[in-house]
Amino acid sequence: MKQLLLDIKPASPPTLLNYIAGRNAEALASINAAVTDATQSKFIYLWGESGSGKSHLLSACEAIGMRVMDDVHMLNNDAQIDLFNTYNQLKESGGILITAGLHAPTQMNLRNDLATRLAWGLTYQLHLLNDAEKALALQNHATERGMRLPTEVVDYCLRYLRRDLSTLMATLDALDEWSLITKKPITVPMLRQLLQLNLEI
């Protein structure tokens, strides 16, 4: 039996368009403004817990040629000096820099000069999606795939599966594939069967 939950098609690459903003709409708008040169704020720092979307946004920015730096809180002293110098060079040349870390700039024991630079730009705390936002993200993903996704299936996923969005999306993709293989509509019993088959492999 094919291990559908592990052998699904790769997820779409992160973009600014497929980022589910939720309560992070202002941060997304500022990044879009920087990309389109519609603002003078060219330095943006994002912080928040794992799963809040920092890496998605940075990957999307990097893919379109922007300078990014993730996990600022893990930089050693030499790397912090390099980032400080990069900041100054980009400021002089009018460049853009998007950075991210686990906490606000002044709460990570960074060099004072670097923490000050990061705090000078726009700073946004990113928030995890709530259940309603995750449900909307799943329904949007289903619509893009041409799936008919019953509300009770979404509710089951949010209640019983791992709650990070990547796992939920992967499960949805596998469920769509299983529905096509069996030529049956998507239901909660079908989802339970798929999860059970995956556990038995």
Residue 124: in which H helix or E strand, if any?
strand 122-125
Instruction: Provide the β-strand partners of residue 68.
Output: 98
Name the β-bridge partners of 123.
Answer: 45
Pick the CATH number of 131-200 from 2.115.10, 1.10.10, 1.10.1200, 1.10.8: 1.10.8
pLDDT digits (tens, 9 = 90+) for 151-176: 999 999 999 998 888 789 889 988 99
Characterize the bridge pairing of strands 97-101 and 43-47.
parallel
CB atoms within 10 A of CB 155: 13
d(CA 183, CA 179): 6
Class of domain 22-125: alpha beta
CATH 3.40.50.300 in the chain is located at 22-125
Ranges 10-14, 63-67, 68-72, 97-101: which has the least confidence: 10-14
Domain with CATH 1.10.8 in the chain: 131-200
Q: Is 159 exposed, middle or buried (0-12, 13-18, 19+ CB in 10 A)?
A: exposed
**199 — pLDDT class (breaks 50, 70, 90):** low
